[in-house]
Structure 1
C-alpha cells in the first residue's frame, strides 16, 4: 500500500491542466494503485493525480461504498442541481456550500485503455465533477461567489500557517 503525500493550494501543479495519458504501462498501473490507496483513507472521497504531484489525467474515487478510478475522464452528462457542502484535500480546513449538478456521468478508460463510464447522483456526482475540475487545473473554491466565497476565503486566511502561507 502506497499512500502518496498531497499537494496543497499554492502548488502550481494544482493550477496546471493535466495531460492525457498516452502510455498504458506499468507506470500508469502504479499511479492508479497509488491513487486508490491514497483515496481510501478515512474522510476522503476523490483524488486527482495532480493532487499527488502527477500531471496526468486520472482520478480515483471512494464514495458511498463505490471505489474506482478513471483515466482520461471526460464529463459527458450532467442534470439537475445539488447544493451542499464541498471541501478539498488540497484546500484543508476550508469548506463551503457549492452548487453542482445532481447527476453526472464521466467516460474515460481503464489502465488497459478499455472504455469505462461512471455515473452517479448526489455525492458521487459531486465527486466526479470536482475531480474532473482538478484535472483542468481548477479548485472548487474558484467558482464560489458572494458570501460563500467570502466565507471560504476567511477560512483560508485562518488556516494553519503552512497552508495559508502557500496562497
Structure 2
C-alpha cells in the first residue's frame, strides 16, 4: 500500500467522467488499498479514484463503521432529503451546505467482483452520494446552497446550531 497524491480543485481530472471497471484485477485492488490508506492518512471519510488521479469508477468510504470498497457504484434508489455541511479532501479549508437524499440504495461490485447492494441513511448515504458524484466530475460546490471558508464566522454559527 502507498499514499497517493490527492488532486485539488482546479485539477482538470476532477471534472472528467470516470470509466467503468471491467476487470477486478490486482491493479484495481491495489488502487483501492492505496485509496483507503490515503483517505485515512488525510483523515477523510470517503475518497474517489479521480481524487488520486485515476479515472476509474471506484470509491472507498469509512464513516466509523468499517471501511467499504465499492467498484462501479451507482445509486439505484433514493428518498427523503437532508441538508448538512460537507467538506472534501480535494477542496481544502472550505465547506458548504448541500442537500442530499436521507436514504440511498447503491449497487456495486465488491473486491471479489460480486454484485452487492448497500442501503444507507444519514452520514453514510451522504458520503456515498458525494463520492459517486466525483465519478461523474461533480464536486459538492456545484450543488452547495452556501459555501464557507472553514474559518468563516457564519460557518462557526452553523456548526454550533448542528452540534446542539
Alignment TM class, shorter chain as reference: 0.7 to 0.9
Structure 2 residue 49 is matched with structure 1 residue 49: yes
- What is the rounded CA distance, in whole Å, between the counterparts of 1:66 and 1:105 in structure 2? 18
- 1:79-111 CA deviation, whole Å, 9 max, x = no partner? 111111101110111101111111112111023
Structure 2 residue 127 is matched with structure 1 residue 127: yes
Q: How does 1:104-119 map to 2 (within 5 A)?
A: 104-119=104-119
TM-score by length of structure 1 reads 0.84
- What is the rounded CA distance, in whole Å, between the counterparts of 2:42 and 2:6 in structure 1? 15
RMSD: 1.7
Deviation beyond 3 Å, 4+ runs, structure 1:
none
Alignment-derived partner of residue 60 in structure 1: 60
Give the deviation of 1:60 after TM superposition: 0.1
Q: How does 1:62-141 map to 2 (within 5 A)?
A: 62-141=62-141
Alignment-derived partner of residue 142 in structure 1: 142
| Cα distance change, pair 42–89 in 1 and its aligned pair in 2 (3 A) | closer
TM-score by length of structure 2 reads 0.85
- What is the rounded CA distance, in whole Å, between the counterparts of 1:125 and 1:85 in structure 2? 14
- What is the rounded CA distance, in whole Å, between the counterparts of 2:116 and 2:39 in structure 1? 19
- What is the rounded CA distance, in whole Å, between the counterparts of 1:84 and 1:43 in structure 2? 19
The answer to whether the Cα contact below 8 Å between 1:21 and 1:72 also exists between their aligned partners in 2 is: yes
- 1:105-152 CA deviation, whole Å, 9 max, x = no partner? 21110233211222211110100100110000100100124xx1xx44
> Unaligned stretches of 5+ in structure 1?
159-167
- 1:29-49 CA deviation, whole Å, 9 max, x = no partner? 111111221222363110000
